[in-house]
Amino acid sequence: MTVGGAVGLVGAGVAGGTAAGGVVGGGGGVVGGGAVVRGAGTFAGGVAQEHNAAARSAIRNRGSRRMQEEPDLMTDRLVESSGVATQALAPGALYVVATPIGNLADLTVRAWWVLSHVDAIAAEDTRVTRHLLERYHVSLAPARLIAAHEHNERSAAERVLAMLREGLRVALVSDAGTPAISDPGAHIVRAVSAAGLRVIPVPGPSSLAAALSVAGFTHGPALFVGFLPNAARERSSCLQTIAASAAATVLFEAPHRLASTAGALAAVLAPARGVLVARELTKKFETIDNVAAGELVNYVAANEPRGEYVLIVEPAPAEQPAVELDAAARRWLNALADALPPARAAAIAAQATGLARDVLYRELMRGRTADNDESASNP
């Protein structure tokens, strides 16, 4: 890899103790006519202070002064400590690059370096990616920023393949987070792999990992569902799987569908089952709350939906011994279950019989599981 001139990061502090740095280039690094890093700009903590124009200006000024005082920016602490400048970028390879999910300061040094040196970038939304590149002072010719979204992914894959076969380096990015995880990109990745070309992950920000890290589940598997299916039958089947799962289940949801999803989860989960609700992760108005399934609908109603959501349903409790219900309690439960969702049926039956709601819910779900097993063995 040939790098023209010096490229580096200038570490600088921001008022109030926020760590920051400037992405600058003394001449800019160029690979195969690709991206160039030049000028001074924010790199780390300073990006998070988007509302603080004075802080941003101070960072830029400090970066400019250091450029004049220290021509050899390759010795900058971040670049030198990370060793990123010594890592050659393989020609003819697709780099799957994770980008910030909200806080621009979360871009990794390696991701910045790759985006600065590839020959082209395939992006879910070129406008979003252009904004990211501008913030990090990475310039890329318009023709080298390729739209690759759900409506054109097949044709974009052909264009990417053609570039890779010429020995060019291409980065794949989504609007936020890691491409191909509930986002476009999987078809391009498959096409490149099928062609026998290299696919190289550049890990980084992930709402999935971020939410799981604060959920507090000490052990056990995690099941990633992403967005619930739209079709009624597939949606119902998925919800039943979540209700019975011994794994923590991770869902993504958009604000306009949150109320519907909350109602659907409340209908199939035991009322005491926990649901972590993470909103606007890494952003200014980030909220992370643990809510009982029985209170989920009220919680959503009391908190106006905004931004993207990650929901984590805690694992189903270990199987409890069966409880003997008397004939009257069984009749109440079965009659209500014919007309109402399981959680609601158990709640009303509890009021009528004096038995615990969770006990009745477990018995109802155990009965349904037995019925399903019997149907499956007698097609």
How far apart (Å, rounded) are the C-alpha atoms in residues 308 and 149? 19
Q: Give pLDDT, residue 338.
A: 84
pTM: 0.67
Q: Give pLDDT, residue 16.
A: 36
Beta-bridge mates of residue 275: 291, 313
How far apart (Å, rounded) are the C-alpha atoms in residues 358 and 305? 29
Q: Give pLDDT, residue 229.
A: 94
How far apart (Å, rounded) are the C-alpha atoms in residues 90 and 305? 43
Amino acid at 116: S
How far apart (Å, rounded) are the C-alpha atoms in residues 311 and 35? 37
How far apart (Å, rounded) are the C-alpha atoms in residues 245 and 317? 9
Q: Is 50 exposed, middle or buried (0-12, 13-18, 19+ CB in 10 A)?
A: middle
Distance of CA 47 to the CA centre of its chain: 20
Q: Give pLDDT, residue 352.
A: 79
Q: Which pair of tokens denotes residue 4?
A: 């023209």
Which residue do the tokens 């969770």 mark? 358
pLDDT in tens, the chain (379 residues): 333 333 333 333 333 333 333 333 333 333 334 443 333 333 333 333 344 455 445 544 544 444 344 444 444 778 888 898 898 899 999 999 999 999 999 999 999 999 999 999 999 999 999 999 999 989 898 889 999 998 998 899 999 999 999 999 999 999 999 999 888 899 999 999 999 999 999 999 999 999 999 998 877 899 999 999 999 999 999 999 999 899 999 999 999 999 999 999 999 998 889 999 999 999 999 999 999 999 999 999 999 999 999 999 999 887 655 566 778 777 878 888 888 887 788 888 888 777 777 777 777 776 654 444 444 444 4
Strand order in the sheet with 93-97: 145-147, 120-123, 170-173, 93-97, 198-202
Q: Give pLDDT, residue 367.
A: 60
